[in-house]
Structure 1
Protein backbone atom coordinates (compact mmCIF):
# COMPACT_ATOMS: atom_id res chain seq x y z
CA UNK A 1 0.00 0.00 0.00
CA UNK A 2 2.89 2.39 0.79
CA UNK A 3 4.32 1.83 -2.69
CA UNK A 4 0.93 2.49 -4.30
CA UNK A 5 0.56 5.73 -2.32
CA UNK A 6 4.01 6.85 -3.47
CA UNK A 7 3.16 6.04 -7.10
CA UNK A 8 -0.15 7.93 -6.88
CA UNK A 9 1.57 10.94 -5.31
CA UNK A 10 4.23 10.90 -8.03
CA UNK A 11 1.58 10.80 -10.78
CA UNK A 12 -0.27 13.72 -9.18
CA UNK A 13 2.94 15.76 -9.10
CA UNK A 14 3.68 14.95 -12.75
CA UNK A 15 0.14 15.98 -13.74
CA UNK A 16 0.46 19.29 -11.88
CA UNK A 17 3.78 20.03 -13.58
CA UNK A 18 2.33 19.20 -16.99
CA UNK A 19 -0.64 21.45 -16.27
CA UNK A 20 1.52 24.37 -15.18
CA UNK A 21 4.03 24.21 -18.06
CA UNK A 22 1.75 25.73 -20.80
CA UNK A 23 0.81 28.69 -18.63
CA UNK A 24 4.44 29.32 -17.71
CA UNK A 25 5.48 29.06 -21.36
CA UNK A 26 2.65 31.40 -22.43
CA UNK A 27 3.64 33.93 -19.78
CA UNK A 28 7.25 33.83 -20.94
CA UNK A 29 6.17 34.39 -24.55
CA UNK A 30 4.03 37.33 -23.51
CA UNK A 31 6.95 38.82 -21.60
CA UNK A 32 9.17 38.40 -24.67
CA UNK A 33 6.59 40.10 -26.91
CA UNK A 34 6.16 42.97 -24.46
CA UNK A 35 9.91 43.38 -24.09
CA UNK A 36 10.36 43.29 -27.87
CA UNK A 37 7.63 45.87 -28.39
CA UNK A 38 9.01 48.16 -25.70
CA UNK A 39 12.51 47.78 -27.12
CA UNK A 40 11.23 48.69 -30.61
CA UNK A 41 9.32 51.64 -29.21
CA UNK A 42 12.42 52.83 -27.35
CA UNK A 43 14.41 52.61 -30.58
CA UNK A 44 11.79 54.72 -32.37
CA UNK A 45 11.83 57.34 -29.65
CA UNK A 46 15.64 57.36 -29.67
CA UNK A 47 15.72 58.14 -33.40
CA UNK A 48 18.25 60.78 -34.27
CA UNK A 49 16.52 64.20 -34.63
CA UNK A 50 18.61 64.83 -37.73
CA UNK A 51 17.27 61.62 -39.28
CA UNK A 52 13.70 62.68 -38.47
CA UNK A 53 14.33 66.02 -40.15
CA UNK A 54 15.73 64.27 -43.25
CA UNK A 55 12.65 62.02 -43.41
CA UNK A 56 10.37 65.07 -43.24
CA UNK A 57 12.31 66.88 -45.98
CA UNK A 58 12.24 63.73 -48.14
CA UNK A 59 8.48 63.49 -47.65
CA UNK A 60 7.82 67.10 -48.62
CA UNK A 61 10.05 66.83 -51.69
CA UNK A 62 8.13 63.82 -52.97
CA UNK A 63 4.77 65.31 -51.95
CA UNK A 64 5.56 68.46 -53.94
CA UNK A 65 6.95 66.52 -56.90
CA UNK A 66 4.59 63.56 -57.32
CA UNK A 67 1.56 64.76 -55.39
CA UNK A 68 1.32 68.36 -56.60
CA UNK A 69 3.48 69.48 -59.55
CA UNK A 70 2.88 66.41 -61.72
CA UNK A 71 -0.95 66.57 -61.46
CA UNK A 72 -0.99 70.36 -61.92
CA UNK A 73 1.21 70.00 -65.00
CA UNK A 74 -1.28 67.55 -66.50
CA UNK A 75 -4.18 69.94 -65.84
CA UNK A 76 -2.31 72.80 -67.51
CA UNK A 77 -1.37 70.88 -70.68
CA UNK A 78 -5.01 69.85 -71.09
CA UNK A 79 -5.92 73.54 -71.13
CA UNK A 80 -3.40 74.24 -73.90
CA UNK A 81 -4.84 71.44 -76.03
CA UNK A 82 -8.21 73.24 -76.12
CA UNK A 83 -6.86 76.77 -76.59
CA UNK A 84 -7.18 77.99 -80.17
CA UNK A 85 -4.89 80.97 -79.55
CA UNK A 86 -1.44 79.78 -80.71
CA UNK A 87 0.62 82.20 -78.62
CA UNK A 88 -1.33 81.49 -75.44
CA UNK A 89 -1.14 77.74 -76.06
CA UNK A 90 2.66 77.95 -76.34
CA UNK A 91 2.90 79.87 -73.06
CA UNK A 92 0.75 77.26 -71.32
CA UNK A 93 2.92 74.48 -72.80
CA UNK A 94 6.11 76.09 -71.47
CA UNK A 95 4.52 76.40 -68.02
CA UNK A 96 3.69 72.69 -68.23
CA UNK A 97 7.28 71.84 -69.22
CA UNK A 98 8.77 73.93 -66.40
CA UNK A 99 6.47 72.35 -63.78
CA UNK A 100 7.25 68.82 -64.98
CA UNK A 101 11.02 69.37 -65.05
CA UNK A 102 10.86 70.93 -61.58
CA UNK A 103 8.91 67.86 -60.42
CA UNK A 104 11.59 65.57 -61.89
CA UNK A 105 14.40 67.51 -60.18
CA UNK A 106 12.64 67.51 -56.80
CA UNK A 107 11.87 63.81 -57.14
CA UNK A 108 15.52 63.12 -57.98
CA UNK A 109 16.64 65.12 -54.93
CA UNK A 110 14.30 63.04 -52.78
CA UNK A 111 15.71 59.84 -54.30
CA UNK A 112 19.32 60.88 -53.64
CA UNK A 113 18.43 61.75 -50.05
CA UNK A 114 16.75 58.37 -49.60
CA UNK A 115 19.70 56.40 -51.02
CA UNK A 116 22.27 58.39 -49.06
CA UNK A 117 20.67 58.61 -45.61
CA UNK A 118 18.04 55.90 -45.19
CA UNK A 119 18.15 52.15 -44.64
CA UNK A 120 16.83 50.95 -47.99
CA UNK A 121 16.09 47.29 -47.33
CA UNK A 122 13.19 47.39 -49.86
CA UNK A 123 11.03 45.27 -47.56
CA UNK A 124 7.96 47.50 -47.91
CA UNK A 125 5.78 48.78 -50.75
CA UNK A 126 6.79 52.42 -50.23
CA UNK A 127 10.43 51.76 -51.08
CA UNK A 128 9.64 49.41 -53.97
CA UNK A 129 7.19 51.80 -55.63
CA UNK A 130 9.60 54.66 -54.98
CA UNK A 131 12.42 52.95 -56.89
CA UNK A 132 10.09 52.34 -59.85
CA UNK A 133 8.96 55.98 -59.82
CA UNK A 134 12.51 57.33 -59.80
CA UNK A 135 13.17 55.54 -63.08
CA UNK A 136 9.80 56.26 -64.71
CA UNK A 137 9.87 60.02 -64.15
CA UNK A 138 13.15 60.31 -66.06
CA UNK A 139 11.78 58.14 -68.87
CA UNK A 140 8.78 60.49 -69.07
CA UNK A 141 11.07 63.52 -69.11
CA UNK A 142 13.11 62.08 -72.00
CA UNK A 143 9.92 61.35 -73.94
CA UNK A 144 8.80 64.92 -73.37
CA UNK A 145 12.09 66.36 -74.62
CA UNK A 146 12.10 64.30 -77.83
CA UNK A 147 8.43 64.82 -78.70
CA UNK A 148 7.61 65.02 -82.44
CA UNK A 149 5.95 68.09 -83.92
CA UNK A 150 2.13 68.16 -84.01
CA UNK A 151 2.07 67.81 -87.79
CA UNK A 152 4.35 64.74 -87.71
CA UNK A 153 2.93 61.26 -88.35
CA UNK A 154 4.91 59.96 -85.36
CA UNK A 155 3.00 62.29 -83.03
CA UNK A 156 0.16 59.82 -82.42
CA UNK A 157 2.62 56.98 -81.80
CA UNK A 158 4.54 59.15 -79.31
CA UNK A 159 1.45 60.50 -77.56
CA UNK A 160 0.14 57.13 -76.31
CA UNK A 161 3.21 56.06 -74.25
CA UNK A 162 3.65 59.65 -73.03
CA UNK A 163 0.04 59.69 -71.81
CA UNK A 164 0.25 56.19 -70.26
CA UNK A 165 3.51 56.90 -68.43
CA UNK A 166 2.30 60.30 -67.23
CA UNK A 167 -0.89 58.76 -65.84
CA UNK A 168 1.10 55.97 -64.16
CA UNK A 169 3.56 58.41 -62.59
CA UNK A 170 0.78 60.58 -61.18
CA UNK A 171 -1.29 57.65 -59.87
CA UNK A 172 1.66 55.80 -58.31
CA UNK A 173 3.05 59.06 -56.97
CA UNK A 174 -0.17 59.87 -55.12
CA UNK A 175 -0.33 56.30 -53.79
CA UNK A 176 3.28 56.47 -52.62
CA UNK A 177 2.67 59.68 -50.72
CA UNK A 178 0.06 57.82 -48.66
CA UNK A 179 2.38 54.84 -48.06
CA UNK A 180 5.16 57.26 -47.14
CA UNK A 181 2.95 58.89 -44.52
CA UNK A 182 2.19 55.44 -43.06
CA UNK A 183 5.90 54.58 -43.01
CA UNK A 184 6.62 57.84 -41.19
CA UNK A 185 3.99 57.01 -38.58
CA UNK A 186 5.47 53.54 -38.04
CA UNK A 187 8.97 54.95 -37.57
CA UNK A 188 8.13 57.88 -35.30
CA UNK A 189 4.78 56.94 -33.70
CA UNK A 190 3.55 60.43 -34.61
CA UNK A 191 0.03 61.12 -35.84
CA UNK A 192 -0.38 61.67 -39.57
CA UNK A 193 -4.11 62.33 -39.54
CA UNK A 194 -3.91 66.03 -40.41
CA UNK A 195 -1.49 65.35 -43.30
CA UNK A 196 -3.69 62.58 -44.69
CA UNK A 197 -6.72 64.90 -44.57
CA UNK A 198 -4.86 67.77 -46.27
CA UNK A 199 -3.45 65.56 -49.00
CA UNK A 200 -6.82 63.91 -49.61
CA UNK A 201 -8.46 67.33 -50.01
CA UNK A 202 -5.73 68.34 -52.47
CA UNK A 203 -6.19 65.16 -54.52
CA UNK A 204 -9.98 65.61 -54.51
CA UNK A 205 -9.64 69.20 -55.82
CA UNK A 206 -7.28 68.12 -58.61
CA UNK A 207 -9.57 65.26 -59.64
CA UNK A 208 -12.57 67.62 -59.64
CA UNK A 209 -10.75 70.12 -61.89
CA UNK A 210 -9.63 67.29 -64.16
CA UNK A 211 -13.21 66.07 -64.61
CA UNK A 212 -14.51 69.63 -64.94
CA UNK A 213 -12.20 70.24 -67.90
CA UNK A 214 -13.90 67.45 -69.83
CA UNK A 215 -17.30 69.05 -69.28
CA UNK A 216 -16.33 72.73 -69.52
CA UNK A 217 -16.40 72.93 -73.31
CA UNK A 218 -19.65 70.97 -73.33
CA UNK A 219 -21.18 73.39 -70.82
CA UNK A 220 -20.11 76.37 -72.92
CA UNK A 221 -21.60 74.82 -76.04
CA UNK A 222 -24.85 74.22 -74.16
CA UNK A 223 -25.04 77.94 -73.42
CA UNK A 224 -24.34 78.79 -77.05
CA UNK A 225 -27.02 76.37 -78.23
CA UNK A 226 -29.50 77.86 -75.76
CA UNK A 227 -28.76 81.46 -76.83
CA UNK A 228 -28.87 80.51 -80.53
CA UNK A 229 -32.16 78.72 -80.06
CA UNK A 230 -33.56 81.68 -78.17
CA UNK A 231 -32.52 84.09 -80.94
CA UNK A 232 -34.13 81.86 -83.54
CA UNK A 233 -37.34 81.71 -81.51
CA UNK A 234 -37.45 85.50 -81.17
CA UNK A 235 -36.75 85.90 -84.88
CA UNK A 236 -39.58 83.49 -85.79
CA UNK A 237 -41.97 85.34 -83.48
CA UNK A 238 -41.12 88.67 -85.11
CA UNK A 239 -41.69 87.20 -88.56
CA UNK A 240 -45.09 85.92 -87.50
CA UNK A 241 -46.02 89.33 -86.11
CA UNK A 242 -45.03 91.07 -89.37
CA UNK A 243 -47.10 88.62 -91.37
CA UNK A 244 -50.10 89.20 -89.11
CA UNK A 245 -49.76 92.98 -89.47
CA UNK A 246 -49.48 92.79 -93.22
CA UNK A 247 -52.68 90.78 -93.34
Structure 2
Protein backbone atom coordinates (compact mmCIF):
# COMPACT_ATOMS: atom_id res chain seq x y z
CA UNK A 1 0.00 0.00 0.00
CA UNK A 2 2.77 2.44 0.91
CA UNK A 3 4.68 1.61 -2.27
CA UNK A 4 1.55 2.20 -4.37
CA UNK A 5 1.03 5.58 -2.70
CA UNK A 6 4.62 6.68 -3.41
CA UNK A 7 4.32 5.49 -7.01
CA UNK A 8 1.08 7.46 -7.41
CA UNK A 9 2.73 10.61 -6.09
CA UNK A 10 5.68 10.11 -8.42
CA UNK A 11 3.32 9.62 -11.38
CA UNK A 12 1.41 12.77 -10.40
CA UNK A 13 4.64 14.81 -10.28
CA UNK A 14 5.53 13.54 -13.74
CA UNK A 15 2.16 14.66 -15.08
CA UNK A 16 2.47 18.10 -13.47
CA UNK A 17 6.01 18.47 -14.81
CA UNK A 18 4.84 17.57 -18.30
CA UNK A 19 2.01 20.09 -18.04
CA UNK A 20 4.38 22.83 -16.94
CA UNK A 21 6.78 22.04 -19.77
CA UNK A 22 3.91 22.48 -22.22
CA UNK A 23 3.04 25.89 -20.83
CA UNK A 24 6.51 27.40 -20.95
CA UNK A 25 8.10 28.09 -24.31
CA UNK A 26 11.85 27.74 -24.62
CA UNK A 27 14.61 27.85 -27.20
CA UNK A 28 15.89 24.58 -25.75
CA UNK A 29 13.06 22.62 -27.35
CA UNK A 30 11.78 22.58 -30.94
CA UNK A 31 8.69 24.58 -31.81
CA UNK A 32 5.73 22.21 -31.64
CA UNK A 33 2.33 23.69 -32.44
CA UNK A 34 -0.98 21.94 -32.81
CA UNK A 35 -2.05 24.28 -35.63
CA UNK A 36 0.21 24.77 -38.67
CA UNK A 37 1.85 28.11 -39.40
CA UNK A 38 1.85 29.66 -42.88
CA UNK A 39 5.55 28.93 -43.36
CA UNK A 40 8.20 26.38 -42.46
CA UNK A 41 9.35 26.64 -38.82
CA UNK A 42 11.88 23.82 -38.63
CA UNK A 43 14.94 26.00 -39.28
CA UNK A 44 13.95 29.19 -37.45
CA UNK A 45 16.64 30.81 -35.32
CA UNK A 46 15.48 31.20 -31.71
CA UNK A 47 16.42 34.08 -29.39
CA UNK A 48 15.08 34.77 -25.83
CA UNK A 49 14.82 38.52 -26.39
CA UNK A 50 13.06 39.57 -23.16
CA UNK A 51 13.61 37.19 -20.27
CA UNK A 52 11.58 39.09 -17.65
CA UNK A 53 8.45 38.86 -19.81
CA UNK A 54 9.34 35.46 -21.37
CA UNK A 55 9.37 36.89 -24.90
CA UNK A 56 10.96 34.56 -27.46
CA UNK A 57 11.63 35.56 -31.05
CA UNK A 58 12.14 33.04 -33.84
CA UNK A 59 13.10 34.27 -37.29
CA UNK A 60 14.61 33.28 -40.62
CA UNK A 61 15.29 34.84 -43.99
CA UNK A 62 13.15 32.68 -46.29
CA UNK A 63 14.18 34.40 -49.56
CA UNK A 64 16.06 37.56 -50.58
CA UNK A 65 13.06 39.75 -49.70
CA UNK A 66 10.99 37.60 -47.31
CA UNK A 67 11.60 37.19 -43.57
CA UNK A 68 9.64 34.85 -41.30
CA UNK A 69 9.02 35.79 -37.67
CA UNK A 70 7.35 34.03 -34.74
CA UNK A 71 7.03 35.97 -31.48
CA UNK A 72 5.85 33.99 -28.47
CA UNK A 73 4.91 35.19 -25.00
CA UNK A 74 2.61 34.13 -22.14
CA UNK A 75 -1.03 35.13 -22.46
CA UNK A 76 -1.60 37.53 -19.54
CA UNK A 77 -4.86 39.04 -20.80
CA UNK A 78 -2.83 41.83 -22.38
CA UNK A 79 -1.53 42.60 -25.84
CA UNK A 80 2.01 41.83 -26.92
CA UNK A 81 3.84 43.78 -29.60
CA UNK A 82 7.01 43.92 -31.63
CA UNK A 83 8.02 47.19 -33.23
CA UNK A 84 10.54 47.85 -35.98
CA UNK A 85 12.14 51.23 -35.33
CA UNK A 86 14.67 53.27 -37.33
CA UNK A 87 16.08 54.92 -34.19
CA UNK A 88 15.16 52.68 -31.24
CA UNK A 89 12.25 54.87 -30.13
CA UNK A 90 8.57 54.03 -29.98
CA UNK A 91 7.47 57.12 -31.88
CA UNK A 92 8.09 56.69 -35.59
CA UNK A 93 8.15 52.90 -35.50
CA UNK A 94 5.80 50.38 -37.11
CA UNK A 95 4.57 47.48 -35.04
CA UNK A 96 2.79 44.15 -35.09
CA UNK A 97 0.49 43.75 -32.08
CA UNK A 98 -1.53 40.71 -31.05
CA UNK A 99 -3.86 39.65 -28.28
CA UNK A 100 -6.43 37.02 -27.34
CA UNK A 101 -10.02 38.00 -26.62
CA UNK A 102 -12.02 36.58 -23.70
CA UNK A 103 -13.67 34.12 -26.10
CA UNK A 104 -10.16 32.90 -27.16
CA UNK A 105 -10.42 34.72 -30.50
CA UNK A 106 -6.94 35.72 -31.68
CA UNK A 107 -6.39 39.19 -33.13
CA UNK A 108 -3.27 40.59 -34.80
CA UNK A 109 -2.99 44.14 -36.19
CA UNK A 110 -0.43 46.47 -37.72
CA UNK A 111 0.11 49.88 -36.10
CA UNK A 112 2.04 53.03 -36.86
CA UNK A 113 3.20 54.82 -33.70
CA UNK A 114 3.00 58.40 -34.91
CA UNK A 115 3.03 60.11 -31.50
CA UNK A 116 2.20 59.58 -27.84
CA UNK A 117 -1.51 60.36 -28.05
CA UNK A 118 -3.85 57.42 -28.79
CA UNK A 119 -5.28 59.09 -31.90
CA UNK A 120 -1.78 59.12 -33.42
CA UNK A 121 -1.31 55.37 -32.88
CA UNK A 122 -2.98 54.34 -36.13
CA UNK A 123 -4.21 50.84 -36.83
CA UNK A 124 -3.49 49.18 -40.18
CA UNK A 125 -0.86 51.82 -40.89
CA UNK A 126 2.93 51.88 -41.03
CA UNK A 127 5.68 50.89 -43.42
CA UNK A 128 5.59 47.14 -42.70
CA UNK A 129 4.57 45.05 -45.69
CA UNK A 130 3.17 41.87 -44.15
CA UNK A 131 2.74 38.65 -46.11
CA UNK A 132 1.26 35.48 -44.62
CA UNK A 133 0.39 35.70 -40.95
CA UNK A 134 -1.43 33.79 -38.25
CA UNK A 135 -1.77 33.71 -34.50
CA UNK A 136 -2.11 30.69 -32.21
CA UNK A 137 -3.00 30.30 -28.55
CA UNK A 138 -1.60 27.07 -27.16
CA UNK A 139 -1.01 26.11 -23.52
CA UNK A 140 -1.73 29.71 -22.50
CA UNK A 141 1.09 30.86 -24.78
CA UNK A 142 0.60 33.33 -27.65
CA UNK A 143 2.41 32.56 -30.90
CA UNK A 144 2.32 35.50 -33.32
CA UNK A 145 3.63 34.46 -36.76
CA UNK A 146 4.06 36.80 -39.72
CA UNK A 147 6.14 37.39 -42.82
CA UNK A 148 7.79 40.70 -43.67
CA UNK A 149 8.32 41.55 -47.32
CA UNK A 150 11.60 43.43 -47.01
CA UNK A 151 15.23 43.00 -47.97
CA UNK A 152 16.52 43.60 -44.42
CA UNK A 153 14.30 44.35 -41.41
CA UNK A 154 15.14 47.16 -39.03
CA UNK A 155 17.73 46.03 -36.49
CA UNK A 156 16.27 48.07 -33.65
CA UNK A 157 13.37 46.04 -32.31
CA UNK A 158 11.00 47.20 -29.58
CA UNK A 159 8.96 44.76 -27.53
CA UNK A 160 6.01 45.79 -25.39
CA UNK A 161 3.34 44.25 -23.21
CA UNK A 162 0.04 45.99 -22.48
CA UNK A 163 -1.94 46.62 -19.34
CA UNK A 164 -3.72 43.53 -18.05
CA UNK A 165 -7.39 43.49 -18.92
CA UNK A 166 -7.17 46.48 -21.29
CA UNK A 167 -7.33 44.92 -24.73
CA UNK A 168 -7.96 46.96 -27.89
CA UNK A 169 -11.58 46.72 -28.95
CA UNK A 170 -13.35 47.16 -32.26
CA UNK A 171 -14.00 49.14 -34.29
CA UNK A 172 -11.04 51.46 -33.60
CA UNK A 173 -8.67 49.01 -31.84
CA UNK A 174 -7.08 51.81 -29.83
CA UNK A 175 -3.96 50.71 -27.92
CA UNK A 176 -3.71 51.60 -24.25
CA UNK A 177 -0.34 52.64 -22.86
CA UNK A 178 2.01 49.69 -22.52
CA UNK A 179 2.76 48.22 -19.10
CA UNK A 180 6.41 47.66 -19.94
CA UNK A 181 8.68 47.83 -22.96
CA UNK A 182 12.25 47.17 -24.00
CA UNK A 183 14.37 48.25 -26.95
CA UNK A 184 17.01 45.94 -28.44
CA UNK A 185 19.57 45.98 -31.21
CA UNK A 186 19.43 42.72 -33.17
CA UNK A 187 22.14 41.13 -35.30
CA UNK A 188 20.13 38.87 -37.62
CA UNK A 189 23.22 37.10 -38.92
CA UNK A 190 24.42 35.86 -35.53
CA UNK A 191 21.22 36.01 -33.47
CA UNK A 192 22.97 38.15 -30.88
CA UNK A 193 21.20 41.16 -29.44
CA UNK A 194 21.80 43.81 -26.84
CA UNK A 195 19.39 45.87 -24.81
CA UNK A 196 19.42 49.51 -25.77
CA UNK A 197 18.82 51.77 -22.81
CA UNK A 198 20.97 54.84 -23.44
CA UNK A 199 18.84 56.96 -21.11
CA UNK A 200 19.27 54.73 -18.04
CA UNK A 201 21.78 57.14 -16.47
CA UNK A 202 19.54 60.15 -17.11
CA UNK A 203 16.56 58.26 -15.71
CA UNK A 204 18.50 57.38 -12.57
CA UNK A 205 19.74 60.96 -12.19
CA UNK A 206 16.20 62.29 -12.52
CA UNK A 207 14.99 60.01 -9.75
CA UNK A 208 17.90 60.56 -7.37
CA UNK A 209 17.95 64.35 -7.76
CA UNK A 210 14.23 64.73 -7.14
CA UNK A 211 14.21 62.22 -4.31
CA UNK A 212 17.15 63.89 -2.58
CA UNK A 213 16.15 67.51 -3.31
CA UNK A 214 12.38 67.64 -2.90
CA UNK A 215 11.81 64.44 -0.94
CA UNK A 216 14.61 64.41 1.66
CA UNK A 217 16.42 67.77 2.02
CA UNK A 218 13.21 69.82 2.04
CA UNK A 219 11.74 67.94 5.04
CA UNK A 220 15.08 68.11 6.86
CA UNK A 221 15.27 71.87 6.29
CA UNK A 222 11.72 72.30 7.58
CA UNK A 223 12.57 70.30 10.70
CA UNK A 224 15.62 72.50 11.31
CA UNK A 225 13.42 75.61 11.19
CA UNK A 226 10.88 74.02 13.51
CA UNK A 227 13.08 72.44 16.18
CA UNK A 228 16.38 74.42 16.24
CA UNK A 229 15.05 77.90 17.05
CA UNK A 230 16.96 78.01 20.34
CA UNK A 231 20.24 78.12 18.40
CA UNK A 232 19.87 81.48 16.76
CA UNK A 233 21.14 82.41 14.16
CA UNK A 234 22.59 78.94 13.38
CA UNK A 235 19.11 77.51 12.71
CA UNK A 236 18.36 80.23 10.14
CA UNK A 237 21.55 79.76 8.13
CA UNK A 238 21.22 75.97 8.36
CA UNK A 239 17.60 76.12 7.23
CA UNK A 240 18.42 78.46 4.34
CA UNK A 241 21.40 76.40 3.20
CA UNK A 242 19.58 73.06 3.30
CA UNK A 243 16.51 74.41 1.50
CA UNK A 244 18.70 76.10 -1.12
CA UNK A 245 20.52 72.85 -1.81
CA UNK A 246 17.23 70.98 -2.00
CA UNK A 247 15.80 73.55 -4.40
CA UNK A 248 18.85 73.45 -6.68
CA UNK A 249 18.86 69.64 -6.77
CA UNK A 250 15.09 69.64 -7.37
CA UNK A 251 15.38 72.06 -10.29
CA UNK A 252 18.11 69.90 -11.80
CA UNK A 253 15.89 66.84 -11.34
CA UNK A 254 12.96 68.54 -13.10
CA UNK A 255 15.20 69.52 -16.02
CA UNK A 256 16.43 65.92 -16.29
CA UNK A 257 12.82 64.77 -16.29
CA UNK A 258 11.85 67.12 -19.14
CA UNK A 259 14.81 65.95 -21.22
CA UNK A 260 13.98 62.32 -20.41
CA UNK A 261 10.35 62.77 -21.45
CA UNK A 262 11.45 64.21 -24.79
CA UNK A 263 13.88 61.35 -25.44
CA UNK A 264 11.59 58.51 -24.40
CA UNK A 265 8.45 60.07 -25.87
CA UNK A 266 6.72 58.88 -22.71
CA UNK A 267 3.18 59.74 -21.69
CA UNK A 268 3.70 60.95 -18.10
CA UNK A 269 1.44 63.99 -18.01
CA UNK A 270 0.29 63.54 -14.41
CA UNK A 271 3.82 63.03 -13.10
CA UNK A 272 5.10 65.94 -15.18
CA UNK A 273 2.27 68.27 -14.14
CA UNK A 274 2.74 67.47 -10.46
CA UNK A 275 6.49 68.01 -10.77
CA UNK A 276 6.05 71.40 -12.41
CA UNK A 277 3.55 72.39 -9.71
CA UNK A 278 6.07 71.41 -7.02
CA UNK A 279 8.71 73.46 -8.80
CA UNK A 280 6.33 76.44 -8.85
CA UNK A 281 5.78 76.08 -5.09
CA UNK A 282 9.55 75.99 -4.61
CA UNK A 283 9.93 79.17 -6.64
CA UNK A 284 7.23 80.84 -4.52
CA UNK A 285 9.17 79.87 -1.39
CA UNK A 286 12.31 81.46 -2.78
CA UNK A 287 10.42 84.65 -3.62
CA UNK A 288 8.83 84.66 -0.16
CA UNK A 289 12.26 84.26 1.45
CA UNK A 290 13.65 87.21 -0.48
CA UNK A 291 10.60 89.38 0.28
CA UNK A 292 10.11 88.39 3.93
CA UNK A 293 9.05 91.30 6.20
CA UNK A 294 10.86 92.29 9.39
CA UNK A 295 10.07 90.43 12.59
CA UNK A 296 8.47 93.60 14.01
CA UNK A 297 6.18 93.99 11.01
CA UNK A 298 2.43 93.43 11.52
CA UNK A 299 2.21 91.21 8.44
CA UNK A 300 5.01 88.92 9.61
CA UNK A 301 2.60 86.40 11.16
CA UNK A 302 0.63 86.16 7.90
CA UNK A 303 3.88 85.65 6.03
CA UNK A 304 4.74 82.87 8.48
CA UNK A 305 1.38 81.18 7.87
CA UNK A 306 1.91 81.36 4.13
CA UNK A 307 5.51 80.13 4.31
CA UNK A 308 4.65 77.17 6.58
CA UNK A 309 1.57 76.17 4.57
CA UNK A 310 3.25 76.24 1.16
CA UNK A 311 6.25 74.38 2.55
CA UNK A 312 4.12 71.59 4.00
CA UNK A 313 2.12 71.22 0.78
CA UNK A 314 5.35 71.06 -1.22
CA UNK A 315 6.82 68.35 1.03
CA UNK A 316 3.66 66.21 0.90
CA UNK A 317 3.25 66.47 -2.89
CA UNK A 318 6.97 65.80 -3.40
CA UNK A 319 6.75 62.52 -1.47
CA UNK A 320 3.68 61.46 -3.46
CA UNK A 321 5.31 62.32 -6.78
CA UNK A 322 8.54 60.51 -5.93
CA UNK A 323 6.61 57.30 -5.22
CA UNK A 324 4.58 57.83 -8.39
CA UNK A 325 7.76 58.34 -10.40
CA UNK A 326 9.23 55.12 -9.00
CA UNK A 327 6.06 53.35 -10.13
CA UNK A 328 6.17 54.84 -13.63
CA UNK A 329 9.85 54.04 -14.04
CA UNK A 330 9.43 50.43 -12.91
CA UNK A 331 12.39 51.02 -10.60
CA UNK A 332 11.41 48.14 -8.37
CA UNK A 333 10.60 47.53 -4.72
CA UNK A 334 14.10 48.51 -3.59
CA UNK A 335 13.60 52.17 -4.47
CA UNK A 336 10.18 52.23 -2.80
CA UNK A 337 11.52 50.57 0.31
CA UNK A 338 14.58 52.83 0.52
CA UNK A 339 12.61 56.06 0.19
CA UNK A 340 9.95 54.79 2.59
CA UNK A 341 12.60 53.99 5.21
CA UNK A 342 14.00 57.53 4.94
CA UNK A 343 10.54 59.09 5.29
CA UNK A 344 9.61 56.87 8.25
CA UNK A 345 12.90 57.74 9.95
CA UNK A 346 12.31 61.47 9.44
CA UNK A 347 8.75 61.07 10.71
CA UNK A 348 9.88 59.29 13.88
CA UNK A 349 12.56 61.92 14.54
CA UNK A 350 9.97 64.65 13.95
CA UNK A 351 7.53 63.07 16.41
CA UNK A 352 10.23 62.82 19.08
CA UNK A 353 11.29 66.45 18.58
CA UNK A 354 7.67 67.62 18.55
CA UNK A 355 7.06 65.89 21.87
CA UNK A 356 10.09 67.65 23.34
CA UNK A 357 8.71 71.00 22.16
CA UNK A 358 5.36 70.36 23.81
CA UNK A 359 7.03 69.16 27.01
CA UNK A 360 8.99 72.43 27.20
CA UNK A 361 5.78 74.40 26.75
Q: TM-score range by the shorter chain?
A: 0.5 to 0.7
Contact 2:159 2:183 in 1 (8 A): no
Flag the 1:155–1:117 CA change in 2: closer, same or farther, 3 A: same
| Offset of residue 217 of structure 1 | 3.2
2:106 corresponds in structure 1 to 27
TM-score computed with the length of structure 2 as normaliser: 0.47
1:145 corresponds in structure 2 to 290
Inter-partner Cα distance in structure 2 for 1:23 and 1:163:
53
Equivalent residue pairs, number: 188
Match of 1:39 among 159, 165, 180: 159
1:93 corresponds in structure 2 to 236
Inter-partner Cα distance in structure 2 for 1:34 and 1:154:
71
Contact 1:125 1:179 in 2 (8 A): no
Residue 211 (str. 1) matches residue 356 (str. 2)? no
Residue 194 (str. 1) matches residue 334 (str. 2)? yes
Match of 2:200 among 37, 43, 52: 52
Flag the 1:197–1:34 CA change in 2: closer, same or farther, 3 A: farther
1:159 corresponds in structure 2 to 304
1:126 corresponds in structure 2 to 271
Residue 110 (str. 1) matches residue 250 (str. 2)? no
2:228 corresponds in structure 1 to 80
| Offset of residue 152 of structure 1 | 1.4
| Offset of residue 146 of structure 1 | 1.6
Inter-partner Cα distance in structure 1 for 2:288 and 2:323:
27
> What RMSD over aligned residues (CA atoms) do the two structures have, in Å?
2.9
Flag the 1:43–1:201 CA change in 2: closer, same or farther, 3 A: closer
Flag the 1:97–1:48 CA change in 2: closer, same or farther, 3 A: farther
1:63 corresponds in structure 2 to 211
SS at match of 1:39: strand
Inter-partner Cα distance in structure 2 for 1:201 and 1:24:
45
SS at match of 2:198: helix
| Offset of residue 176 of structure 1 | 0.8
| Offset of residue 24 of structure 1 | 8.8
Flag the 1:93–1:23 CA change in 2: closer, same or farther, 3 A: closer
Inter-partner Cα distance in structure 1 for 2:204 and 2:182:
15
1:93-121 Cα distance to aligned partner (Å, 9 max, x none): 10110111111111111122222332366
Flag the 1:159–1:23 CA change in 2: closer, same or farther, 3 A: closer
| Offset of residue 26 of structure 1 | 1.3
Flag the 1:34–1:97 CA change in 2: closer, same or farther, 3 A: farther
SS at match of 2:293: coil
Flag the 1:208–1:43 CA change in 2: closer, same or farther, 3 A: closer
Contact 1:80 1:90 in 2 (8 A): no
| Higher alpha-carbon deviation: 132-141 or 68-77 | 132-141
Greater radius of gyration (CA): 1
SS at match of 1:95: helix
1:183-224 Cα distance to aligned partner (Å, 9 max, x none): 110xxxxx5112211111111111122222221134457xxx
Higher relative contact order (CA 8 A, sep 6+): 1
Flag the 1:28–1:204 CA change in 2: closer, same or farther, 3 A: same
Which structure shows the bigger proportion of residues in strand conformation?
2
1:240 corresponds in structure 2 to none
Q: Show structure 1 runs of 5+ residues with no match.
A: 1-21, 186-190, 222-247
Inter-partner Cα distance in structure 2 for 1:110 and 1:157:
31
Which structure shows the bigger proportion of residues in helix conformation?
1
